[in-house]
Structure 1
Amino acid sequence: MKTVIFPGSFDPITNGHLDLIIRASRLADRVIVGVAKNETKNTLFDLQTRCALVTEATQQIEGVHVLPFSGLLADLAKQQEAQALIRGIRGTTDADYEIQLSQVNKALNPQLETILLAANGETGFISSTVVKEVFKHNGDISQLAPCCVQKALITKQV
């Protein structure tokens, strides 16, 4: 069984994230969406809420498992017996950064590969920050994020 990990903060999950998760599910039997607990990031949603939103948004995608984590991604990959990390890239700046991260992860876990997936042209411009900003200014986020995110943002009264 091939296992990959798609890590991120998912604050909140977007349609861009969902596109990458769906594409990853075609490459592996098991896709772990690793929702990061990062003390240095000031997230809008707490870890439990972010995991719940990812779970709801991915419930129809076969083989997807949501897992909160903290610490080194290379260690999580060892624990979960993952063969690869999935990372999305929007352009050369992302690619440069992701290549550096892949080299660090490879040094920490020599068995771990990184698969860089180019963002889809229809969703590549979407980020969690964009979703929050559009919502904050009363814009329509229905094309940017799953409906559970809009409900959560309304509840949060952003």
Structure 2
Amino acid sequence: MAKVAVYPGSFDPVTTGHLDIIRRTSNIFDEVIVAVFVNPNKNPLFTREERVEMLEEVLKDFNNVMVDDFAGLLTEYLKEQDGDVIVRGLRAVSDFESEFQMASMNKKLAPEIETLFMMTNTKYAYLSSSAVKEVASFGGCIEELVPEYVIDKLIKRLKKEDKMVTEEDRN
């Protein structure tokens, strides 16, 4: 029986840190579902469809990885997908407390589902989608922080949303 891992997140946008977790997870499990979570408490820069499309493009060479999206309880989504394990990336000790709380709640809701905490590669410990958006909005270099495919999409979206800081803004 295939072991199915679900890696949920907002992926707004997907970063090289996310890709590292996905690659490593795909080496451990038979099937990995990268699930774009629709969080009503967040105001994403990209639509759900755009985030799914970007992930599908950057993950197209991963044979055992599929991309999906969901809203609602993660444990219910895993049951629908016959998922066995929730994968969560940890960048720092500060991530652990909230992730542990969520994992404990998920265990209460679905005792049969395990949560696997995967430590990020240390070269990505500082990296988050929020940090990438902030650096990009100030015109900083985001190469190596997000896949090449995402760079232009991010810059265009920030400009469209009038979230780019210009020279005039800085003076």
Secondary structure of the corresponding residue to residue 122 of structure 1: helix
Partners of 1:101 and 1:41 lie apart in 2 by: 17
Q: How does 1:127-146 map to 2 (within 5 A)?
A: 127-146=128-147
1:93-128: per-residue Cα shift (whole Å, max 9, x none)? 211211111111111111100000011111121100
Secondary structure of the corresponding residue to residue 81 of structure 1: coil
Counterpart code for 1:103:
S
Q: How does 1:7-156 map to 2 (within 5 A)?
A: 7-156=8-157
Partners of 2:53 and 2:142 lie apart in 1 by: 19
Partners of 2:121 and 2:102 lie apart in 1 by: 22
**Conservation of the 8 A alpha-carbon contact between 2:14 and 2:129:** yes
Partners of 1:23 and 1:112 lie apart in 2 by: 20
Partners of 1:68 and 1:51 lie apart in 2 by: 7
- Give the total of aligned pairs: 158
Segments of structure 2 that go 5 or more residues without pairing to the other structure are: 164-171
Moved over 3 A (4+): none
1:154 Cα deviation after fit: 2.8
**Conservation of the 8 A alpha-carbon contact between 2:92 and 2:125:** no
| CA radius of gyration, larger in | 2
Partners of 1:3 and 1:32 lie apart in 2 by: 7
1:3 Cα deviation after fit: 0.3
TM-score by length of 1: 0.96
**Conservation of the 8 A alpha-carbon contact between 2:86 and 2:115:** yes
TM-score by length of 2: 0.89
Question: How many percent of aligned residue pairs carry the same amino acid?
Answer: 39
1:51 Cα deviation after fit: 0.6
Range with bigger deviation, 100-109 or 9-18: 100-109
Range with bigger deviation, 29-38 or 88-97: 88-97
RMSD: 1.0
1:43-75: per-residue Cα shift (whole Å, max 9, x none)? 000100011111111111221110110000000
Partners of 1:55 and 1:128 lie apart in 2 by: 17
Segments of structure 1 that go 5 or more residues without pairing to the other structure are: none
